[in-house]
Structure 1
Amino acid sequence: MGAMMSNVSVLNVNLYGEPIGTLTNVGGDRTLFAFTDAYIENAKRPTLGLSFKDEFGTLQTEFRPYQKRVMPFFSNLLPEGHLRKYLAEQAGVNHEREFYLLWALGRDLPGAITITPADDEPWPPEVADGADDNRDDHRENALRFSLAGVQLKFSAVMEASGGLTIPASGVGGSWIVKLPSREFAGVPENEFSMMRLASLVGMNVPAIDLIGIDAIKNLPEGIDKIGKNAFVIERFDRLSDGSRVHIEDFAQVYGLYPDEKYGNGSFRNIAQVIAAEGNDADIIEYVRRLTFNMLIGNADMHMKNWSLIYPDRRYVSLAPAYDFVATVPYLPGDATNMKISRAKVFSAFSTDELTHLAVKAAIPKKMALDAAKETVQSFQEHWAKEASHLPMSDDVRSAVAAHMKTVPILDELS
């Protein structure tokens, strides 16, 4: 028994700093999640996520084991793509071994979750894919970098679509910094312009800014050759005093792994959850954001680009807006990449398609159409007034102007 036990590693899953469950690696990269008895028995318990409730609202407590990856809810807390590979390298872990990645990065995750070793267990040397030296140094490295304090390697910035996204602590709070893209010109300027427009149209947008690359410390050499500016947005899962606000994205809600974020979800699915769990203001805000992103031609509104937030720790609200980018200038075409209600193309976004979504999601039809109408009209007014002053490039401006005319709801509700 003793020899077997030594293969078992336990991580505490903490919510607002209180342990509510454990992730156990039972050996052979199999992991199991369980809630603590205290959390299960607490009638006023803070909500970890909607996916942990059954259809009657009762907490689910039985979970199957997962191999190599952890269950989707926890997998979605980890970075994706190049950033994950880079951080894994910094921590000396194989980027597919998610239990150990959570161990390395668990003190700075999205929302109010932290993941810490249960018995102050030392960092396990056997995960170090052939690397030597002290694991604990590696762990510090990974964490400091995730707080934007480590010199980035150039290779870490070669994300395909948007440049690298890094959390940073700076003046007055916590920010997400998005660097320029190697592949597409002017993404930070595009995102700043679209988010600014969304806020003018009345959507809930966090504080945003466009800052010169030269104002950011510890960036790789040569980033300034890719673009002049970075887009920054205030994190809504951190308060100014450093405390954490709990959030979850819709991949977590639906139990999807990050690589299933387009194909296995739909805008109707998101609407169903917001209609069931949120209030009228959330529903109206959702329809407005959906309409806005159809008009600007954003084909990247996948399940991880919508989140819920827990202002009172128990009940959800739609989290503030993020990741509004017009993708049509870079990837022309009609595909929305995620199903609306029946269709998967911008040219199908009509009052009829929106009505279908509303009826299927149990949203009052008039509420949905009124919200869309208000958005279309406000969008047209602000586009006419502001488009020429916003820092997007002429290519982006003309691509969006041409695209919006192909979205039927524009004419129908003008």
Structure 2
Amino acid sequence: MFVLAALTLLAGCGGHAKGVMAPVALTTPVPGASTVDMLVATTREPSGDPATLFSGERDANTFLTDVAVSIPPETARKSGTVQWPRKLPPDPAKEFAVTRVNELKSLDEAKSWFLQHDVGGNAFVFVHGFNNRYEDSVYRLAQIVHDSEVQATPVLFTWPSRANVFDYNYDKESTNYSRTALEDILKKLSDAPKVKSITILAHSMGTWLTMESLRQMGIRDGNVPSKIENVILASPDIDLDVFAKQFVEMGKKRPKFTIFVSQDDRALALSSFISGDVSRLGAIDPSAEPYRTQLERAGITAIDLTKVKSEDGLHHGKFAESPEIVQLIGTRLATGQTLTDSDISVGTGIAAVVAGTARNVGNVAAVTVSAPVSILENPQPAKKKKVVVGDTLATDMPTPVKIK
């Protein structure tokens, strides 16, 4: 009964116009509207349809696209929301609208794009979660960048999701399929002289993909590139024991980690059920033991959103829907600032608990302190598993950009 109810709720979360990627020609500027320019990298298969661009199927190549999204005036929208078109073409005065799509056919074109859109040498990489179309992730990143006012160049990595609640396992395997491609994108950004810092924001199943890519970097190179300074995991759909191993295997020099959790996250409850009732990282209570001590010793900041109100029936997207939290991401976390109980306040009724204190328990609870990560080492002997990391298979598909 629980699974059926959860799947019904999940299936009802996509009631908006589809095929919104065809650019809208703006004959005259819309007063008060703004534009978010982003670089989109994907391992999805091209759809051959300009209204969708890419499908949910997998491709052995990594494609890069320049996309611009128009955000309607503040009078027409509420922070934390995406104004999906009610019909096509969209009305830029009231709704989100794609205004530019350019296929980038070489890595040099991608480098040129980044230079043209450089914001202080900072890159903001977003990795979406389960049950997302290409357009879903494009619109969500546009909303986050606009509402957070993050001072960085937006980069979206979108992996092959069939956007069907009954394809959970396909989506999960697609994250494994895409981990080397994401690693390559992060390496290219890290190697670029103009890039000074990289912040990664990953959501739901995309947190697994992110952790796997960072873990591969640590295994290949001994550590994660120093330019990857901040990693934010929102509603991480990761087994707790697996996360601990991924975290340690990155090496001794790791980025600063922040996780957003919520004990009323219904999507993670379903994931836990599917996974054999194994607890998910995004559903823990960071103020309870043993999590509190483990997080403190690992230097990981945990922000509890359980009491934050959400219009999302699954309570799975609070990180992007709460205006205060989105602002926190853009103005504090993406800049690497350390949160303390005296300055964490991000809005009325939202406070924090930091480093073992017990005051100001509100809608947000944070736990952080710089300390060794030995607590995350599994004291029990772990079963050895073979991990095979190979190059992406070659294909005869067209290759606008093939990243190796």
* Higher relative contact order structure (alpha carbons within 8 Å, sequence separation ≥ 6): 2
Q: TM-score scaled to structure 1, two decimals? A: 0.28
Higher helix share: 1
Q: What TM-score do you get using the length of structure 2 for normalisation?
A: 0.28
